[in-house]
Amino acid sequence: MTAPYIIQIIIGFIGLIALAVPFSNNAKIINYKYILYGVLAQIVLAAFLLKIPLVVSAFEILDDGVTVLQLATKEGAGFVFGSELSAFQTFAFSILPFIIVMSCISAILWYWGVLPFIVNMLSKVCQRLFNIGGPVGLGAAANVFIGQVEAPLLIKPYLSKLSKKEILILMTAGMATVAGSVMVALISILESQFANENLIQHFITASVLSVPAAIMYANIMIPSNEITEFSENKTPKVYKSTMDAITRGTSDGTNIAVSVAAILIAVIALVFIVNSFLGLIGSYLGLDISIQIILGYLFAPVAWLMGIPWGEALIAGELLGLKTTLNEFVAYPALAALEPGILSDKSKLITFYGLCGFANFSSVGILVSGMGAMAPERKEDLIEVSFQALVGATLASCMTGLIVGCLI
């Protein structure tokens, strides 16, 4: 590492934490111990997941499994849509089926106890480090593998009892991570841009690291010592049998796939309309104006704080802005479409981590409506902390990108 880069990293750590302080309910009582624990937990987890040879080898095996999963999904899609139609490399036929298949597999692994075992380990680490209760620890950790609305379902009986800080932790962790059901779909979009990288390793690492980061930012924004504990210490049972997991997992995956498709149709159309309007204004003023350019300038300082050189920060900032204002299914294809040399390999990977999360305005609506349906009496609290959750989740993903950038 060069001296200027080390200085940039130090400023990045301070800056990404300082950006959260103005959103704190009471900055005077922030427990800085939890900030230290959050950063250290991310560093240790990143080193474990990216540098330990045995873990790297396990991810290589998992990467082979992703290849088999992609082939299996194409086989299933070919049977339903016809081999000629499914052969088209369109989003609908080549990407969305992965969400359905992965959702089904995630449900099976949950019923068989594989995912609960991993989630419980991460939950216990977070409980000890940040002094949080079992329900919120489980709900936050579960976001690594299941969706941002499905994770709170695991602790539905406790939602009405949670403090505002605990609700903020759940929402922030939900938006700072990417569910397992969409990871394979995103891998299929990105694999040409990251040909030499194990993308499943990076996706899982990003989601795991962002959980302690999300809890850290929630502690900054609502400092509190209120804890809600389980009345009985066991993981809630979600599925009744393997067949129930298959049918419900498939149904949930279908709903997610349809929702993703519908949102993309709407937001891409809206971007086109707004860019057309901005283009008219720009032609009158003699300027090149678009949503992408505006977002690039707004988020470029954040990209620099993540460790990206200033010469590349405008492009990375544009992608971060697309993810926050639209969603990751718009930002990741934009990253995949970049011409060679626009971003260095390191900057691309840091940006990849910064984009890994559901932190966008549509997710705020999804979370408020989804969790509000589970606990109607907490609807006002959900709305009240929703913007803090969006900011915290965005910063959590950026902090993850900064830390991984120090290790690669």
Six token digits for residue 3: 């001296």
pLDDT in tens, 302-315: 999 999 999 999 99
Average pLDDT for the chain: 86
> Residues 126-164, buried b or exposed e (16+ Cβ, 10 A)?
bbebbebbbbbbbbbbbbbbbbbbbbbbbbeebbeebbb
- 87 pLDDT more than 50: no
Q: Which of 392, 217, 403, 391 is nearest to 307 (CA)?
A: 403
Instruction: Look at residue 350 in the predicted model and tell me its pLDDT.
Output: 96
How far apart are alpha carbons 323 and 356 in whole angstroms? 9
Contacts of 68-72 spanning 24+ positions with Cβ under 8 A? 69/98, 69/101, 69/102, 69/105, 69/184, 70/98, 70/184, 70/188, 72/101
- 234 pLDDT more than 90: no
Q: Which of 265, 105, 75, 69 is nearest to 179 (CA)?
A: 105
Instruction: Look at residue 91 in the predicted model and tell me its pLDDT.
Output: 60
- 398 pLDDT more than 90: yes
pLDDT in tens, 113-143: 888 888 888 888 888 888 888 888 888 888 8
Six token digits for residue 217: 């930012």
What are the residue ranges spanned by the domains of the chain? 3-252+303-309+337-407
